[in-house]
Amino acid sequence: MAEQVALSQTEVCGILREELYRGDAFHHSETHIFIIMGASGNLAKKKIYPTIWWLFRDGLLPEATFIVGFARSRLSMADIRKQSEPFFKATPEEKPKLEEFFARNCYVAGHYDDPASYQRLNSHVNALHQGSQANYLFYLALPPTVYEVVTKNISETCMSPTGWSRIILEKPFGKDLQSSDRLSNHIAALFREEQVYRIDHYLGKEMVQNLMVLRFANRIFVPIWNRNNIACVILTFKEPFGIEGRGGYFDEFGIIRDVMQNHLLQMLSLVAMEKPASTKSDDVRDEKVKVLKCITEVKAEDVVLGQYVGNPSGEGEATKGYLDDPTVPQGSTTATFAAAILYVKNERWDRVPFILRCGKALNERKAEVRLQFRDVAGDIFHQQCKRNELVIRVQPNEAVYTKLMTKKPGMFFNPEESELDLTYSSRYKNVKLPDAYERLILDVFCGNQMHFVRSDELREAWRIFTPLLHKIDHEKPQPISYVYGSRGPTEADELMKRVGFQYKGGYKWVNPHKL
């Protein structure tokens, strides 16, 4: 059995601090001001404020860091604290540190389309300790509908006079190629590309970041990572709950825009790209763009759309379908499940199907990358050999495991399917994996754009899906019904079989902690 790695969270944070300061990721003595636009909203209270607190608690932020909230609501800092602190997960022992954190917080109320509000914000920021010489980070925890007016006012009024200014944008970055281009052109007229951080939180997940290390730091994978050995690649995103009252947002965008065009396509590009010249941000993103340029537009005949209905034998929310949610428009044809086949038209991946599957109200919570290898040539075991698979489980229970054939123990000479398993919770004892937002926000402080989406990368991603999305928006095809808590439409399984995926059903990975 492999030796377990047991590090405390304090030790992990100490190592990370040493690496940051030794690498001069940021000047630790400089003042940094983190400005949360939309500070009264759900994203801010559930994710952004807690993330900044965790980074502050672990000593990973520059010493002189201040947090300024900005929103339309007439709130006090006490109100912001009351609504966000329940998500901090702070222990009683951390109370003094928590008080120190909130002492560095303040709040300014204003309107997003009012230049005078930004002048007040700018005056407030400049009045902070060394505020006029500080570096500014603007997090837009806002609806995309106000991006243009907010970024225009920030650019004209609130940029740092002497330090650097960086802006973080949340998805969705437009609804199609045209709207995305319009937003990108607007942003490009106001900021340099190195100032813009388009955040896709999946790029901050441990196992997504591990894809590059697995691929390019292991000799055993180099000769087999191609069309000669890999039969298909399956990228999966499953959630066991429905939209839960978010119909206003979800019905406008749908599952393809919400998950497939961004999260799954980002993972695909990391699986399929060529080896970059280095781990520098643009070297990595150059290779991702090259892969995306090789992907042809997805065809309607290679897509299955589904919409969940209530489960009569379920309980609570499971008994309600998508159309039963009062926030969903009556008779909506928006898909809550999608399966699509993409092809990368280059030498490495010619004719290898990349199968993307995502959906809500399914049978489990899971995100993973699965590479299924081709059949063993010259099988001498009477067709008992099943295909090898390499699985990178992104969430939950982060793991890398390989399904392979081995001799069944005992007197008989029969092969059976087993696994080589690296489950993180078993191998790395007591190591807390950082939240994706922790990694990504720290990257913005450090000026590392590797795990953020570049404008040309975004454009290629929309190019692949826009014709299909326009066809769906115009024709409004009726999605296939599937029961809440099921695996999704059976037609999706048939689509996968059609392009060569083989499911034998004889083996399922089991979390070692449950054995």
Q: Which two tokens stand for residue 505?
A: 């059903």
Q: Which two tokens stand for residue 473?
A: 């928006």
Contact between 511 and 395 under an 8 Å Cβ cutoff? The reply is no
Nearest 5°: the CA angle 249, 254, 256 is 135
451 is catalytic: no
| Bond before 353 cis per omega within 30 degrees | no
Buried b / exposed e over 171-185, threshold 16 CB at 10 Å, is bbbbbbbeebbebbe
Say how far apart CA 98 and CA 211 lie, in whole Å: 35
Contact between 199 and 170 under an 8 Å Cβ cutoff? The reply is yes
CA-closest candidate to residue 173, choices 153, 154, 192, 188: 188
| Terminal C-alpha separation, the chain | 16
Give me the amino acid identity at 133: Q
> Which strand (E) or helix (H) includes residue 147?
helix 147-157
Contact between 454 and 193 under an 8 Å Cβ cutoff? The reply is yes
Beta bridge partners of 372: 232, 389
CA distances from 329 to 157, 245, 342 (A): 40, 12, 31
- The CA dihedral of 47, 48, 50, 51, to the nearest 10 degrees, is 100
For 404-455, the three-class secondary structure string (H helix, E strand, C coil) is: EEEECCCCCCCEEEEEEEEEHHHHEECCCCCCHHHHHHHHHHHCCCCCCECH
Contact between 467 and 47 under an 8 Å Cβ cutoff? The reply is no
CB-based contacts of 169, cutoff 8 Å, min separation 6: 140, 147, 187, 196, 197, 198, 199
CA distances from 390 to 62, 224, 339, 514 (A): 40, 11, 20, 21
Active-site option among 263, 382, 451, 513: 263
Say how far apart CA 226 and CA 210 lie, in whole Å: 19
Residues annotated catalytic, as ranges: 263
